[in-house]
Amino acid sequence: MSSLPHDVPKPVPEDLGKDAEGWERRQRLNKSEAERLLDWLEANGYSQKEISLAEDGSFTVRWRR
C-alpha cells in the first residue's frame, strides 16, 4: 500500500484500497490537496495518474504504477 506525502494537510480522506485493476484513489480533495498529491505521485515514479472533478467541486485522484 502506498503512503501519502507528508505535506498533504489533514484531514486526508480514508484509504480506499486498490480496485480490481490495481488503481488506488483519494476522494473529496480540494484543489490544493489534489495538486500536491499529483506532484508527489509524479516525483515518486507513478506514471499512471487521473484526476476528476465531482459535482460538489471536490477532486478525486487515482493512480497506479
- So where are the chain's domains? 1-65
- pLDDT the model gives residue 63: 93
Amino acid at 3: S
Q: How would DSSP label each residue in 12-48?
A: PPPP--B-TTS-EEEEEE-HHHHHHHHHHHHHTT--E
Q: What is the tens place of the pLDDT at every residue in 1-13?
A: 455 555 554 444 4
Q: Which residue has the cell 506525502?
A: 5
Question: Which grid cell sits at 48?
Answer: 499512471
What does pTM read for this prediction? Answer: 0.71
- Give the integer Cα–Cα distance in Å for 55 and 43: 29
Residue 41 has pLDDT above 90, yes or no: yes
* pLDDT above 50 for 53: yes
> Using omega within 30 degrees of 0 as the cis cutoff, is the peptide bond preceding 11 cis?
yes
Arithmetic mean of pLDDT, 24-41: 94
The reported pLDDT for the residue numbered 23 is 93
